[in-house]
């Protein structure tokens, strides 16, 4: 009786080892197995949020699916050489940088993540901005736009991220590129970026900015334009 039990245990153990090996995937055929990307959750002693900590996607038209083969990032407007870059040209031809930055949405949630990408200033410099340039207008696949002062972009090592926590941006998180607009409210963190337009139009207002949100969007200030409350939204 006892011996029979031990025999069955050994058979189960062997069966588990065999199916376990097969289940791990691929090695037996000589093909490398595919591993899930592993998210980084701690960086230089700092705990990070998870990619799954975003409450929900609240973008204006929902997640955009971009076909990376036909994708081009345009650098347009007041530049000596209007430029179009493929995904690989951006990710492979420019130095990449990492930094931990927190995204704060006006809805009250935030996520602290390790971002990896290229400097927007490197992309802009390559296209040769004209001296009249004051504003950088970002356009996205869903028609969303936002803008930031050229000085802010050039002086703060602002990234166009292609990875978060070591993982390529998922489609709902902005693949191929999201702007890491650090120290600015979440609505400046444009996802699915398709075009970087250099402009001298200091009156330009992006999607949420033209609907009453602060154009400077500094985290240490409120996010509503005061005069909008006084005259616009609620009348005189
Ligand atoms: N293209 C595009 N980018 C966008 C938005 C959008 O609607 N469209 N929403 C912004 C807002 S309001 C926030 S808070 C951040 C992060 O939002 P998420 O949770 O939808 O990723 O993305 C920003 N980038
Ligand atoms: Mo937001």
pLDDT tens by residue, 138-148: 999 999 999 99
Give pTM, 2 decimals: 0.84
What is the reported pLDDT for 171?
Answer: 95
Cα separation, 77 vs 175, whole angstroms: 24
Q: Would you state the pLDDT for residue 225?
A: 80
Place of tokens 């420019």: 94
Residues of the chain whose pLDDT is less than 50? 1-2, 10-27, 231-232, 234-236
Ligand nearest to the CA of 57: 1
d(Cα 190, Cα 138) in Å, to the nearest integer? 7
Question: For position 20, what pLDDT does the model report?
Answer: 43
Give the DSSP H or E segment for 114. strand 110-119
Domains and their CATH numbers in the chain: 1-34 (no CATH), 42-211 (3.90.420.10)
Ligand 1, residue 185: give the atom nearest the CA: 14
Distance 165 CA to ligand 1 centre (A): 18
Distance from residue 233's CA to the centre of ligand 2 (Å): 19
Q: How many CA atoms lie within 13 A of 123 on its CB side?
A: 34
SS3 187: helix
Maximum CA pair distance of the chain? 91
What stretch of H or E contains 39? none
Question: Tell me: the pLDDT tens digits for 103-147?
Answer: 999 999 999 999 999 999 999 999 999 999 999 999 999 999 999
B/e letters for 66-81, b = 16+ CB within 10 Å, e = fewer, are beeeebebbbbbbbee
């Amino acid at each position: 009786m006892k011996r029979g039990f031990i025999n069955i245990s050994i058979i189960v153990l062997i069966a588990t080892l065999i199916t376990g090996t097969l289940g791990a995937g691929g090695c037996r055929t000589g093909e490398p197995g595919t591993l899930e990307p592993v998210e980084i959750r701690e960086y230089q002693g700092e705990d990070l949020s998870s990619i799954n900590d975003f409450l929900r996607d609240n973008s204006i038209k929902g997640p955009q699916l971009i076909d990376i083969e036909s994708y081009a990032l345009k650098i347009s407007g007041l530049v000596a050489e209007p430029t179009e870059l493929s995904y690989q040209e951006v990710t492979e031809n420019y130095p990449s940088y990492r930094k931990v930055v927190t995204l704060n949405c006006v809805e009250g949630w935030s996520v602290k993540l390790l971002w990896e990408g290229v400097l927007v200033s490197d992309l802009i410099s390559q296209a040769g901005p004209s001296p009249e340039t004051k504003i950088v207008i970002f356009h996205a696949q869903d028609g969303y736009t936002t803008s930031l002062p050229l000085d802010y972009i050039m002086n703060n090592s602002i990234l166009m991220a292609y990875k978060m926590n070591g993982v390529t941006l998922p489609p709902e998180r902005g693949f191929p590129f999201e702007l890491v607009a650090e120290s600015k409210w979440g609505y400046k963190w444009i996802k699915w970026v398709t075009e970087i337009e250099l402009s001298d139009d200091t009156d330009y207002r992006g999607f949420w900015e033209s609907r009453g949100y602060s154009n400077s969007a500094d985290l240490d200030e409120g996010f509503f334009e005061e005069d909008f409350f006084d005259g616009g939204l609620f009348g005189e």
